[in-house]
Amino acid sequence: MHSYNGKRKRRRRVSTFRVFVLVLLVLGIVFAIVKLMPDKLGEGFAGLFEKDIMESVTPMAGGDSEFSKAWPDSKRVNMLLLGTNQELTDTIMLASFDTELKRVDVISVPRDTYYERPDYPGPAYQKINSVYETEGVDGIAKAVSDVLGGVPVHYYAVITDDGVARVVNAMGGVEMDVPIDMQYDDPEQGLHIDLKQGLQTLDGDQAVQYLRFRKGYPTGDLGRVDAQQAFLKQVFDRTISLSFPKVAAAFIAEVETNIGAEMMVRLGKAAVGMDKSAFATYTTPGESDMQDGASYYFADEALTMEMMTNIYSMKAEETE
């Protein structure tokens, strides 16, 4: 994962998390669809790839921001990835797919990120993970855009813990090197975590345990962000090497998204030829602190803007 401190660093291949939605969507099920061309797509898709993909993309948040105005010719399609548990978003990521450079940059937004909402009094409602519960996908899309400097959000994908488990099982499990012993019980949430340290193949239920664990990390929720990103990278690698129909069926059944079939196909076509190394992860720069008796993660606005500008400024030679 990129620990962003304002300095340009050589990108390294990293482990990456849980709402592997973009991976399955852009590089998984749509790959399956694209592989069926032209026999199975039919005449309705004739000429589909002749026009610029960006002509069909409309931001659901951040479209009028200064950031968007600064990048009018960007070829990036940004998807908000949400993992939910009891209406709270335990996982919040923005996956930015550069359709021209064929690369994906995933930015994690810690669930405890401070996001002031005067209309919702109480410390719990000032955390970004509460926005989805009260304002839905449009509200959380705007919040993430605001935190990330006004970056446009074009699409969203939401998956529950149960959905993650079923998709992982459809994949035949995911191999992970569990960094520490993970034990935790919360009867009220029906949460039972019991994983041993070491390399192993996680089934669906174990994958959810791995993704939800955070109490044992020295850095708390940031440790879980790292684990989620590690999981996503493993899924990314596995997805582009699988036979997809079964995974695609599970994905379609479990994920709520506003991406239509045509756009899925076009994104999949744009991703064909993408290399495993063309995938990087970041965490919104900032630090944890207390305010009014509650613990929050405060995003650093200047460093966040620098991070997003560097991502959008990437050239072909920087990705080789």
8 is a domain residue: no
Q: Are 243 and 6 in contact (CB under 8 A)?
A: no
What tokens does 117 get?
């909402």
Q: Are 149 and 304 in contact (CB under 8 A)?
A: yes
232 is a domain residue: yes
Q: Which residue range is the domain that position 177 belongs to?
A: 21-315
pLDDT for the residue 37:
43
pLDDT for the residue 320:
54
Q: What residues contact 243, with CB distance under 8 A and at least 6 apart?
A: none
What tokens does 284 get?
């919104």
pLDDT for the residue 239:
65
pTM of the model: 0.77
The domain that contains 235 carries what CATH number? 3.40.630.190
pLDDT for the residue 242:
57
pLDDT for the residue 36:
42
Q: Domains in the chain: how many in total? A: 1
DSSP-assigned beta bridge partners for residue 192:
185
Q: Which residues of the chain have pLDDT under 50?
A: 3, 6-46
46 is a domain residue: yes
Q: Are 175 and 199 in contact (CB under 8 A)?
A: yes
User: CB count, 10 Å around CB of 277?
Assistant: 12
Torsion angle of C-alpha atoms 219, 224, 229, 232, degrees rounded to 10: 170
pLDDT digits (tens, 9 = 90+) for 16-58: 333 344 444 444 444 444 444 444 444 444 455 556 788 889 9
1 is a domain residue: no
320 is a domain residue: no
139 is a domain residue: yes
58 is a domain residue: yes
pLDDT for the residue 314:
85
pLDDT for the residue 266:
81
pLDDT digits (tens, 9 = 90+) for 224-255: 888 888 887 787 777 655 555 566 666 667 78
pLDDT for the residue 49:
54
Q: Are 299 and 287 in contact (CB under 8 A)?
A: no
pLDDT for the residue 28:
47
84 is a domain residue: yes
